Structure 1
């Protein structure tokens, strides 16, 4: 059935029968609307997790407010006039603009107006969610002109769910690794404006102001295309203000955001993962000497060493100072982290090419999965993981994880874990110690001063025999000595042990403690 064009002077006031072509375009629009909506939701949740931490909290709030906003938008849509095509196109234009710039807005709000970040975040969620919610009733009503309302609702909801599935899969597998957060939002905005343009062309006879709407869509198309094209420059601009120092390396991998910076004045270089500092070239040796040398100085076999994390190769550099270490297995989930640890010139100089050592074998694998497999027994296990700022990392400080490590330790084996700060995150530090004590017979806690981090803590654990009261270091060091090691086991009153829970996968306490401790 052919459509009946309205008068050229006014928009169509009465619903018109749809052609098969128009119906197909509307159905395709539903798919794209759902795809774009879920990706915006994921982008906002990811950016907020990246900047604020606690991904469960951020994604829960993002999803909850987004769903609420969609319901609000659906309610508001009942007050629109019956110019369904025009209304749908204008809503798509608005989503393209607001959604397209959501990522860069959040990244710029954080350094320049930190107190307003949450307001900006929730405002974006509310606007995008409401706009997406407005579209579903409009499209359902339009389709009901061709098919029954029952069939229209079934088609709209089924395509909405399929589009959400496509978007939720495409974001982590395609968009985030290839485009990053800022360019992804621009690219999804382009999809919205393409949908608007497609409907402008197909329903042009329904629009009295067709040329003006077309010009508006084309203008926004050019703007978003330019943003995608210059996205890398925009990203560098945002990162410059986020990190303050010069960004010398930046990439978004499948697992995390890796950024290396260099101070213009001091030439100090830093590595950040998801916005959290991992080391500074000014004092990284202090951290890695305290992580590695105490555990390797304890008498007993140390031929087989396992490093969990540490893809930068700096812990491995310290381990390689011991000639009797025959084998080092290093496990890092991110192959890009392993690659730059081996190939990036700055890291190669810093880790003294440890990642290319014949004694070291690197595995790009999740540490939890790796340690849960049968394999050789290790004499020493060094856990060099990021702080437990989300639930994914929380499992790497759990009772279950330590139990798996215990099964992969030799009879005289020892494990050490970086354990965050006993000053800034006091309950976190002692929670890690308490969790280790649930699995192992003996634990030893100590701390060191790392200027970039503050007071930093470590926990060792073993089964056979108590820890010695003295340590001897027979390799060259820049910071740690026998005397400083003995002093490091004495905790000041404000860092002494406090009651803390045992962390487990079934009852993940640690990452919430981490967030709470940082708020104190």
Structure 2
């Protein structure tokens, strides 16, 4: 083999290993954001810890330079094992300790930091060892060797970074994607050492490295065979034994438990969105105050792809059109086709007055086709980076432009008792957008919900006054004023004020 060919093979190995390393980083960020929430915090923790550990790993690699080939082979085997199994380990901790609440919240972060630290240490040890190996093929100026290695490393990181969201995640999912990446990592590292530098190893070293690689590949293959059963068992541990449907849409994981003879619950990304025990009370409390405040011929529902908010809207006479803006077509498809869920929402999507738009609510509101008498905001709680923009001053400014004269906006703002600062920040943000507000809360059998009714002008009646209408409010509606937190700053796109 010519030195030129040898250098190209080493750089190809650098390329593959760098791609695998970045996939591990993104796997940790994505899974931690899904399990823990607040994607900015999780990304910051993973990336900062990992970069710090890479520096420490580079220093520790000095001790392996005299046995660079064996050291590199063992580092890649360890990296493939730790990185490949990291997603399963995090998911297992979430599934079997998640019911302990604060135990999981604290322990998960320690586990996330531990994996970030271990993977960073191993990635950091790669380049110094590769620097030694590439110089053994052909001596060259150190600056040129470093430039070649880092060029291959950065290009590999680019490919890994693009492959994760566009290839691995949609086709394989998080668990299988990490396992396949680990297998590729182990094969690439082993092939590089045995193909080019086997003569640098003693006979015992070759056997030890071969056994290590075969063991790692065997463990990853076993995990891949069992991943379906593992995921099913983890789902039962998280959602109970009544899991009936679990689908990964292009946007999120949607799980349905129960059915016709049992309480129906709908979970989105591990969070309960609909409870059959409290669903009717929640949606009536969200919809009825806005609908009873004046005209309601044209209604806009933001989120609410499950159809339950639209069902409550259609209970009111005089509704001519309901537009549902839902980002995830998978949720609407499930609401149309699943017998239990479609029965719960009253087959609302068969009503010709209901029209569905699959779009991001923020973007859609920048150029809405018409104004609306009522806007219902049935969106996820504002405790993650993804949902914070839908509770920002800019977002409510767009909603205000969409309201017709005398129009009302009803906002689900999360639990009052558990997160009063979040709830009252939503209210402060609505006021900062120029809307008049009235906050109220409803206590369900298993939850505490906070809502804000907002309007550009005073509604014709307040939420809490007695009413004799065909759609009275559920029992338990009360003012939230006694929980008010003073002096809160509104949330904006560039400075979100919500925290998990």
- TM-score when scaled to structure 1? 0.87
| 1:193 equivalent among 174, 186, 195 | 186
- Give the equivalent residue in structure 2 for 1:503: 491
How many Å apart are 1:458 and its aligned residue? Answer: 0.8
| 1:160 equivalent among 122, 147, 153 | 153
Contact 2:17 2:189 in 1 (8 A): no
How many Å apart are 1:437 and its aligned residue? Answer: 1.6
Q: How does 1:386-401 map to 2 (within 5 A)?
A: 386-401=380-395
For residue 416 of structure 1, give the secondary structure of its aligned residue in structure 2. strand
Alignment partner of 1:123 is 2:114: yes
Alignment partner of 1:107 is 2:91: yes
2: CA distance, partners of 1:246 / 1:32: 42
- Give the equivalent residue in structure 1 for 2:286: 291
How many Å apart are 1:109 and its aligned residue? Answer: 2.2
- Give the equivalent residue in structure 1 for 2:167: 174
Q: How does 1:361-372 map to 2 (within 5 A)?
A: 361-372=355-366
Alignment partner of 1:138 is 2:133: no
**Count of residues in correspondence between the two structures:** 486
Change (3 A) 1:72 1:467: farther
| 2:409 equivalent among 411, 415, 421 | 415
- Give the equivalent residue in structure 2 for 1:242: 238
Q: How does 1:62-73 map to 2 (within 5 A)?
A: 62-73=46-57
1: CA distance, partners of 2:336 / 2:468: 28
Task: Encode CA deviations 1:232-281: one digit per residue, 9 max, x unaligned.
Answer: 222222222233444322233343232233499x8323222222211211
Task: Encode CA deviations 1:14-60: one digit per residue, 9 max, x unaligned.
Answer: xxxx6444322211111121111111112222222222222111110
Contact 1:338 1:364 in 2 (8 A): no
| 1:97 equivalent among 75, 81, 85 | 81
How many Å apart are 1:74 and its aligned residue? Answer: 0.5
For residue 230 of structure 1, give the secondary structure of its aligned residue in structure 2. helix
2: CA distance, partners of 1:504 / 1:72: 38
1: CA distance, partners of 2:193 / 2:350: 58
Contact 1:382 1:417 in 2 (8 A): yes
Change (3 A) 1:80 1:213: closer
- Give the equivalent residue in structure 2 for 1:376: 370
2: CA distance, partners of 1:473 / 1:283: 23
Change (3 A) 1:417 1:491: closer
How many Å apart are 1:287 and its aligned residue? Answer: 0.5
| 1:279 equivalent among 257, 274, 277 | 274
For residue 80 of structure 1, give the secondary structure of its aligned residue in structure 2. helix
For residue 144 of structure 1, give the secondary structure of its aligned residue in structure 2. helix
Change (3 A) 1:192 1:314: same
Contact 1:196 1:217 in 2 (8 A): no
How many Å apart are 1:196 and its aligned residue? Answer: 2.5
- Give the equivalent residue in structure 2 for 1:253: 249
Q: Can you give the 5+ residue segments of structure 1 that lack an aligned partner in the other structure?
A: 3-17, 516-520
How many Å apart are 1:119 and its aligned residue? Answer: 2.8
- Give the equivalent residue in structure 2 for 1:85: 69
1: CA distance, partners of 2:419 / 2:111: 29
How many Å apart are 1:397 and its aligned residue? Answer: 0.8
1: CA distance, partners of 2:422 / 2:109: 26
| 1:148 equivalent among 141, 150, 162 | 141
For residue 108 of structure 1, give the secondary structure of its aligned residue in structure 2. helix
Task: Encode CA deviations 1:78-105: one digit per residue, 9 max, x unaligned.
Answer: 1114222221111111011111111111
- Give the equivalent residue in structure 1 for 2:100: none
2: CA distance, partners of 1:93 / 1:263: 46
- Give the equivalent residue in structure 2 for 1:268: 263
Q: Can you give the 5+ residue segments of structure 2 that lack an aligned partner in the other structure?
A: 98-102
Contact 1:307 1:328 in 2 (8 A): yes
2: CA distance, partners of 1:315 / 1:263: 20
| 1:458 equivalent among 451, 459, 472 | 451
